[in-house]
Amino acid sequence: MYNHSMNDQLLEELIVPRFLKYVCIDTESNRDVSETPSTQGQWELAKTLSEELSAMGLIDVKLTDHCYVIARLPATKGRENEPYIGFLAHLDTASDVCGCNVKPQYISNYNGEKIDLMYGLCLDPAKEPDLIEQKGKSIIHTDGTTLLGADNKAGIAEIMAAIEYLIANPQIEHGPIEIIFTPDEETGKGLPEFPLNEIKSTYCYTVDGGPIGEIESECFNAYKSDIEFHGKVIHVGHARGILANAALMASAFAVLLPRSESPEATDGYYGYYCPMQITGDLEKANLEIFIRDFEKDGIERRLAALDAFAKTVEAQFPGGKVIVKNHPQYYNMRVKIDENPDVLERLKKAVKNVGIEWRLKPIRGGTDGSRLTELGIPTPNIFTGGRNFHSRLEWVSVSEMCAACKVIIELISLKN
């Protein structure tokens, strides 16, 4: 273990300028586009990062045809034979809230009071206890017109700052390091076009979590269900006993989804159904549903329920047809990580070594680490310091970003 004497001021100087630069690049992804990347803005950030990595002196810097950034930092003398350790973060921001023209607000000495934002929104410590803990510290928040993009540009900035620090401090011994930045994580595609054959890491860590100390080694099993509704059309003036309204069929199906098993009604280890988008007209309509559960039997139960709901709607609308198409997105990484316990134990040790109390927390979602674990590279998740992801109330603690950077450096310097 290297004795990291870094202070937060030094780390702020490494992290904050990068983060403020990255969040101003519009990388909002589009889950309705099949190509990878789904948006052109992700190319701008990928090219920026590739240039910065090359300028820092990393080797094998590559930007693939599908916007994956890969770079490597060689081991220090005497540790060349250790396995590669990878660090991964995603380029895109979610499309749930606008990610264009982000105007980050940096507060160097937060006074602990309510922060007024645009559109009548506010960050209120009375409603967000974590904010109170930031009094006297630095935070960065949205102005209320967009999301901030800490998910996952905080992770990118922390990884880049850690590499920059290592290069500036060659006395810190480490094995070979691989950096990977990925497109379209927020679309739930699950690393399409991922260049697995080019990856050298034996194990990885995503830097894509929340509050300080949280580490994650399990996530949802995830499916996307596309439900098609085919109606029977006739002039509405002569519709009695004939018309099967596809738009109404889609609405009826959505209403059958149990409200007690929705995202807003569940937490912890409870799964859910979430209708994401509904479109259509009299003749044809479509409903997109995300289903999530930590256990495979829970997913199977929900998939079976969708089939049952389809039959119910067909019975309610004679002449109409409902087609359910299910697509797996990613699986719970817990099983594979349990088979490789050293990967998680190293992370726990690194967090503890830098003076932070770690706590395991299930991801109520997924990361690219979920898919990478499935592909054979165990990849737990590290906190970033962000809060209120995918919203106009998003903010990040700078001191916790510094803590995440320390954990990355400690992980890198740990000997096998």
- Catalytic-residue membership of 92: yes
**How far is residue 379's CA from residue 266's CA, in Å, rounded to a whole number?**
26
332 torsion bin: left (phi>0), alpha (psi -120 to 50), beta (else): beta
> How is residue 193 written in tokens?
């076009």
Residue type for position 204? C
**How far is residue 271's CA from residue 125's CA, in Å, rounded to a whole number?**
29
**How far is residue 404's CA from residue 406's CA, in Å, rounded to a whole number?**
5
Q: Give the phi and the psi of residue 221 in degrees, each rounded to 5.
A: -85, 135
Among 26, 92, 158, 218, the active-site one is 92
Among residues 91, 92, 56, the alpha carbon closest in space to that of 71 is found at: 56
Q: 314, 321 in Cβ contact below 8 A?
A: yes
Which residues, other chains included, contact 9 with Cβ-Cβ below 8 Å and sequence gap of 6+?
none
Q: At what angle do helices 8-23 and 41-56 cross, to 10 degrees?
A: 140
Give, for 152, the enclosing helix (H) or strand (E): helix 150-168
CA angle 52, 55, 57 (to 5 degrees): 115
Among 12, 178, 185, 228, the active-site one is 185
- Catalytic-residue membership of 218: no
- The catalytic residues are 92, 185
